[in-house]
Chains A and B, each alone.
Chain A
Amino acid sequence: MNITELPDIQPYSLRKAEKEKLLDSTLTSLSRHHYAHCAPYRKMMDGIGFDPQKDYHYSDLMFLPVKLFGGMELCSVPKEEIIRTLMSSGTSGQARSLIFLDRETASNQTKILTRIMSSFIGTKRAPIIILDSDSIIKDRKLLSANAAAISGFSLFGSTRMFALNEQMELNTDLLVSFIEQHANEQILLFGFTFKVYRHFYKELIKAGIKPDLSGAVLIHGGGWKKMENESVSSEEFNEKLNDVCGIRRVHNYYGMVEQTGSIFMECEYGHLHTSVYSDIIVRRTHDFSQADTGEVGIIQVLSILPKSYPGHALLTEDKGILLGEDDCPCNRYGKYFRVTGRIEHAEIRGCSDTYGGNIN
């Protein structure tokens, strides 16, 4: 199939057999494409034993660890075709990943994000409150992962307002007047989980303000790692927000800069969903075989979008559980899952204090 054309399919409309057929051909084509156009990727695949002639089941395609993008520049298009470079926030001690986007991949990311989001919040543009500071989105050419996410979600806004100033303080006056001004519309809120909690929820409590956001939708993501100190579960998070502003529709999402666009949205039942453009496979440490439903393992993520860089099949450093497929009570088809945390930092014996650290 032609990988330049996105399949014109609704995000949660394919059952297992049809979806696998789509992913087998698309993802295998992508592996071949990167094999042909990205020299380092080709060397990796030659080493591990990828056969470009063979038709693979997508679950058998070789995946790259996300950390690899921090160690080298992986790009499958000529440098002059790159219009934007995304940069991961980089966890402590790790090199920042660079993700190279050409026009086509960038535009496909936007299209797919729009389709996924529309299926949750409708196609009508809404006033959007970004629970962050606008200082984060200054450089258009080299975008941080956070800035890319804000820019992406801003597309759904008819008008946009940043609720935090540069000192990360909540501008309550601006917030209240924006909400009043759009009292008859469905307001959209977007932010990173820990910032929503720390700079929105906690600040509202402190200020004693309870804005009416009962008709609004909050989309938040970016991971729970920084929330560990707060010891707040996902359910408590939703309850607390509901208490302070009456908001009922809160959707977490799981995504990463290496696969921007094809995010995994949380449904009304608290399950993260794969769309027809993406998939996850939970893998066992022992041999990277597929874990059973309900078994914790390392999350592999797949996306049909990455064409300008070889990021279509990636092994994350997150742990998760596959909950089921095609049978979520929310009626969306596809796999649904839960992320349970990061894989533990290995406690390694030995006299060398530098291990696994040759990637830099």
Chain B
Amino acid sequence: MILMAETLTDIEFLFPKEPGMDDLGQIPGEEPFSESAIAYLDALAKILNKDPRTKNYPDVITFSFFCRKGNLLQLKKKYLHENCLRLGRGLVFHIAPSNMPVTFAYSLVFGIISGNANIVKVPSKKYAQADIIINAISGLSKERRHKIFSKRNALVSYNADSNATSLFSSICDVRVIWGGNATIDEIRQYKLPPHSFDVTFADRYSLCVINADKFNSERSPEQLAAGFYNDTYLFDQNACSSPHLIAWLGVDENVEIAQRKFWNTVYDIVKSKYILQPQSAVDKLTTFYYQAVHLHGIKKTFTPDNLIWRIELKDLSKDIDLYRSYGGYFSEYKATSLKELSSVFSKKFQTLSYFGFEKEELIQFITKLKPVGIDRIIPIGQTANFSLTHDGFNLIDTLSREIELL
């Protein structure tokens, strides 16, 4: 299928400016981690590093680090199977989340590195980060050796009433839908070709588990608290990986000491960095009262102001994920074991961030208890990092096809 000029009038092409994407539906896949793709992304990282604006955006810095040759070669080692023939599936259509400034770029890179051509719907909200990245991609298109990537990738923006979603869905081999659930429901109304499929990242709920016995002997609680800030407040505690439930394990008196120390340290950082919006303060209060009506015996723990709301749970309930807010609202529970916690997990649970657990313990937790949900077990401070495995999908394997050769 050819994208006819007249069907594209309500689509804004952010890159390339002149859509020359003939025969998009027929584009052959490339090998994952091809040399040319790695060279292209490494060149992209270099341009981003040179842009003086980059240093103001930690998320752009992290993204550019992800694109560096060194990182990609490491990932290649981890994700490429030996003696296995793989090619990208063809054309991947990505619908990026509207509230995250750089997720669209990661999605594009996942598509490129797995050997695909890509159409990426960029959030219609204007972000400086998106500007910087799109600018870098446009700059690269002028270099002859990377020209092919301008032909194989497009960044677009369009309004809800456009027929673009229907059009792109009808020609793609994989559709990647970043949530929330309402977006997924809506996008799924548009048909895919028979061989194609969706990769969906639905709304998720995340929790954090801290071993108080270990925490109390931690030498740099400030560093841990800074990591916790990045997991939560940096994204208004509204990223899928941001914890809403903080579970404490350990001896009673240790838990009390650890809680005080942990929250005091977090508070200092929040106070110096975070701007609380009036709506957020009102919503925290509203959520609390709603939670108090439905969950028996909860108590608000005293905090000096509205920056951090701590809710002490008496019991763990299966619907704990319903009682969440954003911008610093944490339900806390003193658990006896990981097993006890896992009894309330559901498919909605995504990231379990942790402190004070051995890897072996966590492996046992998965293999012995086989919890429902939980796709990521990540140290505190790293939950927002992107990896090629997301929500349980190995994206290289998912976005490429294996060719059987006997």
Give chain A's interface residues, CB within 8 Å of chain B: 40, 43-44, 46-49, 64-65, 67-68, 71-72, 285-288, 298, 315, 317, 319, 343-356, 358-359
Contact = CB atoms under 8 A, between A and B. Distances in A.
A46 B99 CA distance: 36
A47 B326 contact: no
A346 B99 CA distance: 12
A352 B99 CA distance: 8
B343 interface: no
Contact of B238 (A67, A315, A355): A355
B290 A71 contact: yes
Nearest to B181: A354
Given A44-B292, A48-B292, A355 B326 contact: yes
Contacts of B235: 349-351
B279 A345 contact: yes
B236 interface: yes
Nearest to B299: A47
Contact of A47 (B178, B237, B242, B300): B300
Contacts of A65: 282, 285-286, 289
B286 A67 contact: yes
30 contacts: A44-B289, A46-B299, A47-B292, A48-B288, A48-B289, A64-B289, A65-B282, A72-B290, A285-B281, A287-B304, A288-B306, A298-B281, A315-B285, A343-B279, A343-B282, A344-B278, A348-B99, A348-B236, A348-B326, A349-B236, A350-B236, A350-B240, A351-B100, A351-B201, A352-B99, A352-B203, A353-B182, A354-B180, A355-B325, A356-B283
Given A44-B289, A47-B288, A356-B326, A351 B282 contact: no
Contacts of B307: 286
Interface in B282-320: 282-283, 285-293, 298-300, 304-307
B327 interface: yes
Contacts of B236: 346, 348-350
B344 to A, nearest CB: 17
A324 to B, nearest CB: 23
Given A65-B282, A65-B286, A351 B277 contact: no
Interface string B227-271: 000000011111110100000000000000000000000000000
Contacts of B204: 352
A49 B300 contact: yes
B100 A285 contact: no
A352 B179 contact: yes
B292 A43 contact: yes
A351 B178 contact: yes
Contacts of B181: 354
Nearest to A316: B282
B324 interface: yes
B32 interface: no
B300 A285 contact: no
Interface of B: 97-101, 103, 178-183, 201, 203-204, 234-240, 242, 276-283, 285-293, 298-300, 304-307, 322-327
Contacts of B178: 351
Contacts of B305: 286-287
Contacts of B292: 43-44, 46-48
Given A349-B100, A351-B240, A43 B293 contact: yes
Contacts of A349: 99-101, 234-236, 238-239
Contacts of A48: 288-289, 292, 300
A352 B281 contact: no
A195 to B, nearest CB: 28
Given A298-B278, A350-B239, A353-B97, A358 B326 contact: no
Contacts of A49: 299-300
B300 A359 contact: no
Contact of B179 (A285, A345, A347, A353): A353
A262 to B, nearest CB: 22
Given A287-B306, A349-B236, A351-B180, 14 more contacts: A44-B292, A49-B300, A285-B306, A286-B281, A287-B304, A343-B282, A346-B278, A350-B237, A351-B97, A352-B180, A353-B97, A353-B99, A353-B180, A358-B287
A179 B181 CA distance: 57
Given A350-B237, A356-B283, A68 B290 contact: yes
B282 A348 contact: no
Contacts of A351: 97, 99-100, 103, 178-180, 201, 235, 238-240
Nearest to A317: B282
Contact of A348 (B234, B238, B289, B322): B238
A40 B289 CA distance: 9
Given A349-B235, A354-B182, A72 B293 contact: yes
Contacts of B101: 349
A274 B145 CA distance: 73
Q: Point out which of B181, B280, B293, B325 has the most chain A C-beta atoms below 10 A from its C-beta.
A: B293
Contact of A67 (B282, B291, B327): B282
A350 B99 contact: yes
B302 to A, nearest CB: 8
Nearest to B326: A355
A285 B277 contact: yes
- Name the 9 nearest CB pairs between A and B, nearest first: A350-B238, A47-B292, A287-B305, A353-B180, A346-B279, A356-B283, A343-B278, A65-B286, A44-B289
Nearest to A357: B283
Nearest to B204: A352
Contacts of B298: 47
Contacts of A298: 278, 281-282
A319 B281 CA distance: 13
A359 B286 contact: yes
Nearest to A319: B278
A317 B282 CA distance: 8
A317 B277 CA distance: 12
B289 A47 contact: yes
B376 to A, nearest CB: 14
B203 A354 contact: yes
B279 A352 contact: no
A358 B98 contact: no
A346 B203 contact: no
Contacts of A344: 277-279
A286 B179 contact: no
Contacts of A64: 289
Q: Point out which of A46, A47, A298, A354 has the most chain B C-beta atoms below 10 A from its C-beta.
A: A47
Nearest to A48: B300
A22 B103 CA distance: 57
Contact of B276 (A43, A46, A286): A286
A298 to B, nearest CB: 6
A118 B298 CA distance: 47
A120 B322 CA distance: 48
A162 to B, nearest CB: 37
B258 to A, nearest CB: 23
Contacts of B323: 358
